[in-house]
Structure 1
Amino acid sequence: MKTVRLGIIGMGAQGGYYAEFLTKGKIKNMVIGAICDIDPDKKATCKERYPDIPFYDNYIDMLDSGNVDAIVTCVPHYLHPEMGINALKRNIHALVEKPAGVYTKQVKELNEFAASKPELTFGIMFNQRTNPLYQKVKEIIDNGEIGNIRRTNWIITTWWRPQGYYDQSEWRATWGGEGGGVLVNQAPHQLDLLQWICGMPKKVYSNVKYGYQRNIVVEDEVTTMLDYGNGATGVFITCTHDVVGTDRFEILGDKGKVVIDDSKKVTIKRLTKPESELSSSLSWADVMKIFRGQGLSDIYSEEVLEFESVWGAQHIAVMENFAANIVEGTPLLAPGSDGIHGVTLANAIHLSSWLGTEIEIPLDEELY
């Protein structure tokens, strides 16, 4: 196979973007094979815009048509595992949107079925993993440049959504439609990046507000404490009601610190000696000099890197990588099996807030 025929399930905003990328030839080794949506209006629009592309109002019919080699699921979160499994059953490659599902139990079923089909490609749209900024940060952490992690702090409140955003659809910001709020809609990329770069915590304890500043039933404000089980701790904060928003991710190690601002700038401070050695060797007089801003070059060096992000480029990169895996065997940047980690974190954060207690990971799926 030299060209992957992709079936797009769901022609909302995201599905529409993918169709545009493909028709403009922006994705190597991939074309549109078919489109599926249950909305009659979408059918009329697609017939006009993509007259030569087969259209289906039932995704099973599309899977059985012989017109697609792979699918992408641009549908409500609950449906991702079901559609992924049904595609793989028919020997069709599956790329699921984030999050991989709503419950770890259903995502685990998807992962287990995908594992039984190793000849097929199973990916997830974690497009931020293709972001050069986060790839660089992961490289720094993996190489031990700032030593062992002691603390992580991420405040990501740039998800401002007015009430009109929630009122545009009956399924949006509902338990039955989306399965949650900011944790499953806006922040899955950050939950994935957090564990991809820093590892999964062993415990979480959260304070979550439901319908705090918006007329919705799911969460719009989250503050979570993370315990990595080795002494390292973390804080993750997100919300949808901060109109001026903050995006700042700090990773403190025993040999330095990484600070990411606005997902555009990375500041790396590398200590000349591990912090424990500085603690035991520096005098109080040395410390006072540091407080006055003197002799800092003897303590650490600083490197600042700036990155530009073009919207759409990272989605295209995931799709190209997915196609390259099918055609050439190129390793996946975002294997579908990794999707369970972010869902685990979201489930644990919800459960902690409902029970008012610390939750160990892996969590009790039946209790959730």
Structure 2
Amino acid sequence: MTGLSVVIAGSGVIARTHADAILRHPALRIAALADPDPRANEDLATWIAEQGAPAPELFGSLGEALGAVAADLVAICTPSGSHADLAAEALAAGAHVLVEKPLDASLPAARRIADVAARAEAAGQLCAVVCQHRFDPASVAVATRVRNGDFGRLTSAVASVPWWRGQQYYDSAGWRGTWEQDGGGATMNQGVHTVDLLLWLLGDPEEVFAYTGVLAHDGIEVEDVAVATVRFASGALAVLHATTAAYPSLGVRLQVHGSQGSAVIHDDQLEYLHVAGGPDSSAYAHEADQSADAVPSSELRGAVKPDDAFVIGHLRQYQDTVDAITAGRRPGVTAADALLDVAVVKAVYLSAHLHRPVRIRAVLDGEFDDVLVELEKTATAAALVPARATR
């Protein structure tokens, strides 16, 4: 057996995607699965065997797996509220870690694991967080031009995650739609990837003002609709929209605008890109789309996406993880990056709760931790009343 040995903590739905990506990577092999649900372990192990891979060892907990298996990398695929504790356990055992988004459901827990990860990094260990859309060719093409200054001064962005999740989605698992394990609703669970891209492209966020609501689902503690404005340190302004109440679901759309260029990423494909050769003083501009020059035709808007596009996205991040381990460099998405994502999402919830703008620095520094506890208790109690009865 060769390659880096991987232990997958959590054998639920997202673990299948991770297992698929790992099996496709020549430098990785699945050594063990760790889940307290024996049926989940057995089902995933059976699927792995059906792919022609060696059967992994099965354990009821990550601790048991780490005590029996020499793990090079641990993939955390459990409910969000357990991410930080399990990541810390894996790092303490000497393994590298890749955490499925978000870093954790709890901001204090996310803050703690970011600190642990920073110390581990100094000792040569890696703690990466899944934000696979940073590695999409369309995202890379836009980010490259932003970093090169081709957009001029970044001025604004519009991000929309108009998805649908039926009531059955929230009813399918007791942790879904809860503060303790989900950490939030449409913004945290579905929208955090787009939040990450916003921050990656526009830089440091300074302040958020938001509204949230529960408009299409019953018995959940978290929002199914959120809208927010984000002000960045550069002065750029962004609009964020995330929902699981947009039937029947449309593609995620991200527009980025600057004084010398604009880009549109739609459903992970590049829909539009144009950058000027320099400042344009004309009153109006009507410039041709340069998308075809920026990405392969398979990554342009309208191209047929492969059925396994989601797995391919994770595979790209696994490639970055392997490269970072091999080269001894930082991964493309660090725990510190993911902490900022969580802080912005929590700022959305705080702003909606307090009915005022919220500064990101204050959220990161823990000034609102008590308010977050109050917010979550209030939302938990409100979830006992069916949403339709409150409208």
TM-score, normalization: structure 2?
A: 0.82
Structure showing greater radius of gyration is 1
1:142/1:41 Cα in 2 relative to 1: closer, same or farther (>3 Å)?
Answer: same
1:66 aligns with 69
Matched-pair identity in %: 23
User: Helix, strand or coil for the counterpart of 1:170?
Assistant: coil
* CA–CA separation in structure 1 for the residues paired with 2:17 and 2:273: 35
Ranges in structure 1 where 5+ consecutive residues have no aligned partner: 283-289, 291-295
State the 1:48 CA deviation: 4.7
Are 2:206 and 1:219 aligned?
Answer: no
Alpha-carbon RMSD across the aligned residues, in angstroms, is 2.2
1:285 aligns with none
1:316/1:229 Cα in 2 relative to 1: closer, same or farther (>3 Å)?
Answer: closer
State the 1:46 CA deviation: 4.9
**Contact conserved, 2:208 with 2:359, CA < 8 A, in 1?**
yes
* Counterpart residue type for residue 345 of structure 1: V
Match of 1:303 among 290, 295, 320: 290
State the 1:199 CA deviation: 1.2
Are 2:21 and 1:18 aligned?
Answer: no
1:46/1:259 Cα in 2 relative to 1: closer, same or farther (>3 Å)?
Answer: closer
Query: 1:160-171 residue pairs with structure 2 within 5 A?
Result: 160-171=164-175
Q: Mean alpha-carbon deviation: is it higher for 238-247 or for 337-346?
A: 238-247
1:84-123 per-residue CA deviation (whole Å, 9 max, x = no partner) reads 1111111111111100012332212112112222211111
1:120/1:338 Cα in 2 relative to 1: closer, same or farther (>3 Å)?
Answer: same
State the 1:42 CA deviation: 2.1
Match of 2:103 among 100, 103, 109: 100
Which of the two has greater helix per residue?
2
**Contact conserved, 1:11 with 1:36, CA < 8 A, in 2?**
yes
User: Helix, strand or coil for the counterpart of 1:64?
Assistant: helix
State the 1:268 CA deviation: 2.1
* CA–CA separation in structure 1 for the residues paired with 2:44 and 2:211: 44
Match of 1:191 among 179, 187, 195: 195
State the 1:19 CA deviation: 2.5
1:232/1:74 Cα in 2 relative to 1: closer, same or farther (>3 Å)?
Answer: same
Ranges in structure 2 where 5+ consecutive residues have no aligned partner: 373-391
1:231/1:83 Cα in 2 relative to 1: closer, same or farther (>3 Å)?
Answer: same
**Contact conserved, 2:21 with 2:314, CA < 8 A, in 1?**
no
State the 1:217 CA deviation: 2.4
1:48/1:213 Cα in 2 relative to 1: closer, same or farther (>3 Å)?
Answer: closer
* Counterpart residue type for residue 37 of structure 1: D
Match of 2:29 among 31, 34, 54: 31
* CA–CA separation in structure 2 for the residues paired with 1:333 and 1:55: 30
State the 1:83 CA deviation: 0.7
User: Helix, strand or coil for the counterpart of 2:68?
Assistant: coil
Match of 1:251 among 256, 271, 281: 256
1:223-274 per-residue CA deviation (whole Å, 9 max, x = no partner) reads 1011124432111111111125253322221122222233323312334653
1:1-37 per-residue CA deviation (whole Å, 9 max, x = no partner) reads 9621100011111112322444xx4112110111111
* CA–CA separation in structure 2 for the residues paired with 1:239 and 1:61: 38
* Counterpart residue type for residue 351 of structure 1: L
1:328-351 per-residue CA deviation (whole Å, 9 max, x = no partner) reads 436522223311111011010000
Query: 1:132-281 residue pairs with structure 2 within 5 A?
Result: 132-157=137-162, 159-209=163-213, 211-215=214-218, 216-242=220-246, 243-271=248-276, 274=279, 277-278=281-282
* CA–CA separation in structure 1 for the residues paired with 2:56 and 2:88: 24
TM-score, normalization: structure 1?
A: 0.87
1:168/1:244 Cα in 2 relative to 1: closer, same or farther (>3 Å)?
Answer: closer
State the 1:198 CA deviation: 1.1
User: Helix, strand or coil for the counterpart of 1:259?
Assistant: strand
**Contact conserved, 1:103 with 1:347, CA < 8 A, in 2?**
no
User: Helix, strand or coil for the counterpart of 1:231?
Assistant: coil
1:92/1:271 Cα in 2 relative to 1: closer, same or farther (>3 Å)?
Answer: closer
1:67/1:250 Cα in 2 relative to 1: closer, same or farther (>3 Å)?
Answer: same
* CA–CA separation in structure 2 for the residues paired with 1:6 and 1:316: 14
User: Helix, strand or coil for the counterpart of 1:202?
Assistant: strand
Q: After TM superposition, which residue ranges in structure 1, 4 or more long, deviate above 4 angstroms?
A: 46-51
**Contact conserved, 1:160 with 1:240, CA < 8 A, in 2?**
yes
User: Helix, strand or coil for the counterpart of 2:175?
Assistant: coil
* CA–CA separation in structure 2 for the residues paired with 1:155 and 1:42: 34
User: Helix, strand or coil for the counterpart of 1:32?
Assistant: strand
1:6 aligns with 6
Are 2:58 and 1:79 aligned?
Answer: no
Q: Mean alpha-carbon deviation: is it higher for 230-239 or for 195-204?
A: 230-239
* CA–CA separation in structure 1 for the residues paired with 2:217 and 2:191: 17
Q: How many residues align?
A: 346
**Contact conserved, 1:147 with 1:253, CA < 8 A, in 2?**
yes
**Contact conserved, 1:77 with 1:99, CA < 8 A, in 2?**
yes
* CA–CA separation in structure 1 for the residues paired with 2:270 and 2:356: 36
**Contact conserved, 2:145 with 2:151, CA < 8 A, in 1?**
yes
**Contact conserved, 1:2 with 1:327, CA < 8 A, in 2?**
no
